[in-house]
Amino acid sequence: MKGNELTPHVEELKRVLGKKVSEEDIRAELDNFVNRFGVDVENAKKAIVRKLGDEGVSFITADAVKKKIGDLTGNEQSVDITAKVVFGESKDVTVRGQPKTIFSGILGDDTGTASFTVWEGEGVELETGAVYEFRNAYTRLWNERVQINVGNRGTIEASKERIETVPYSGGEPVDAKIGDLREGMGSVNVTGKVIDVERREITVRGEPRVVFSGKMADDTGNVQFSAWEDFGLVEGRTYTVSNAYVRAWRGIPQLNMGDRASVEEADADFGDAVGGPTESTISEIIAVGGGIDVSVTGVVVDVRQGSGLIQRCPECNRAILNGECVSHGTVEPVLDLRLKLVLDDGTGAMNVHVGRELTEKLTGVTLDAAVGLAKARGDPEAASRGMAGKVIIKQMKATGNVLSDEFGPMMIAREAEFLEIDIDAEAKKLLSEMEATI
């Protein structure tokens, strides 16, 4: 590699190493690593930072590159981004059992928008509309969209740069069907029917605010929305919402109408049928991250631990073992029934949580009967095993909201039933499809 090819890398190293090391030394080192020992530039830079840098200079800073949002691949280990905050808020979340404050939202520049999360979000306040420099951020792909993360190595500084051409404000918003809404979409136009809407008074960062929230639907699905202004939305009417943005809560996309959004009544007619459960495959749900009121048909391929007759803490309602609650010590447990199923439709697998009433319906075993059986056998597991046997390998249709967590998608079942499938009719259908093709 010739001297002038090394120059940008020398410049980068200079920025990382500061004034302590002379440019000549840096150049000599880099030349030695690259041209004498044949080390690739990226690894050479890391090694030089470790060799010449102060303690505390993380070598990861060495390959920080500056990128536009539109150029992010989702694999960046360390990247600098200058971007405008389209939207941001701090949230209290639980990460691996620990309560934590994060700051998350959407960033934009003149090439695109992406969701972002500042993981050490305590005390972080980023102003919507302001431009910041995000250094040493890393990126991930989530549902084929790039997410920008600022971890404990990252820094954020206010920038003097002006970004005017972010697609959400100056550029073209995207027309989208409700079923295609994805987390991180910075500006969408959506037409849908308001299934329900409710005015709520909430507190955002200590300030009282009014939000109109509810459910919208078109022929592709349902979505929860929050309107941060009173657009006069009326149940049963159909609207075109322009310049809205999409955020996700535990994987469920939510349509937000902020102060840039506009709402107009639309001519579209989706009929009375919309707003009901959306039939979906599990791979479709995984692609979106979650959804409200979806129906999935599959085979129960597993009944997980903690199904059947369980104990709950009378204080916090958490499932407990042997009358011991992690928060409340020895308690007099409340008995309950539930099923934690794995439903698999051949496109993917998903956890499904089934509460007591549905469990009783599916298994034909009531809570009283299960308690009786457990006592009679002297074995609380006896009832649970029997109940698992009633559902395993059965064809089931389950309906409810689907969230995503670190174990993938999880449905809280609102309705669940075994399916009677007309095998003859389905077999004939397959046969005629084949005859038409072959």
Partner 1 sequence: MILRETAWRVFAGELNNSTLEERGAEEKSPNYVISPLGAPINRVLIAGVLLEKENRGTDDDPLWSGRIQDASGNFFINVGRYQPAASVAMADLETPSYVAVVGKVRTYARDDGRVMVTVRPERIEEIDEETRRLWMLSTARATWERLLDMKKAIGGASIEDLVEGGMDRDGAEAIHYALEYYGNPDSTRYLNMIQNSLRALLPDEQIDLGLPEKIYGGEDEIVIDGPDERGSSEEEKEIIMRLIGELEGGGKDGADRESLEREAAKHGIAPVRVEELSNELMDEGQVYEPSLGYLKRV
Q: Which residues bind partner 1 (CB under 8 A)?
A: 282-283, 286-287, 299, 301-302, 342, 344-350, 389, 392-395, 404-408, 421, 423-424, 426-428, 430-431, 433-435, 437-438
Considering the complex, state which of residue 308 and residue 348 has its C-beta at the smaller distance from partner 1. Answer: 348
Q: Which is nearer to partner 1, 328 or 385 (CB)?
A: 385
Shortest distance (Å) from residue 280 CB to partner 1: 13
Smallest gap from Cβ 426 to partner 1, in A, equals 6
Q: Do the beta carbons of residue 193 and residue 215 sit within 8 Å?
A: no
Nearer to partner 1, 207 or 424 (CB): 424
Q: Is 345 helix (H, G, I), strand (E, B) or coil?
A: coil
Pick between residue 256 and residue 384 the one whose CB is nearest to partner 1.
384
Residues 6+ apart with CB under 8 A from 73: 139, 146
Which is closer to partner 1, CB of 90 or CB of 363? 363
Could you tell me the two tokens for 40? Answer: 């690739």
**Of the two residues 151 and 329, which places its CB atom closer to partner 1 in the complex?**
151
Burial 131-141 (b: 16+ CB within 10 A, else e): bbbbbbbbbee
CA gap 52, 58 in Å, rounded: 12
Judged by DSSP in three states, 352 sits in strand
Cα–Cα distance measured from residue 48 to residue 17, given in angstroms and rounded to the nearest whole number: 9
- Give dist(CA 43, CA 38) in Å, integer: 10
Shortest CB 346 distance to partner 1, Å: 6
Using the minimum distance from each CB to partner 1, give the nearer residue, 100 or 390.
390
Spatial distance between the Cα atoms of 396 and 419, rounded to a whole number of angstroms: 5
- C-alpha torsion 160→165→170→171, nearest 10: -150
* DSSP assignment string, 177-193: -GGG--TT--SEEEEEE
Q: Please, what sign has the CA dihedral across residues 199, 195, 275, 288?
A: negative
* Closest separation in Å from C-beta 123 to partner 1: 28
| Beta carbon nearer to partner 1, 258 or 408 | 408
Q: Which residues of 359-369 are buried (b: 16+ CB within 10 A; e: fewer)?
A: bbebbebebeb
- Altogether, the residues listed in the chain come to a count of 438
Q: How far is the CB of 95 from partner 1 (least distance, A)?
A: 14
Smallest separation (angstroms) from partner 1 to the CB of 233: 33
Distance CA 4, CA 47 (A): 21
Nearest distance in Å: CB 192, partner 1: 23
Name which of 269 and 424 has its Cβ closer to partner 1: 424
- Do 98 and 114 form a contact (C-beta atoms < 8 A)? no
Alpha-carbon span 320 to 182, nearest angstrom: 36
Residue 49 or 350: the one with the smaller Cβ distance to partner 1 is 350
CB of 88 to partner 1, least distance (A): 23
Q: Kindly state the smallest distance separating residue 162's Cβ from partner 1, in Å.
A: 37
**How far is it, in rounded angstroms, from Cα 52 to Cα 389?**
65
Minimum CB distance to partner 1, residue 225 (Å): 25
Nearest to 398 by CA among 337, 317, 340: 340
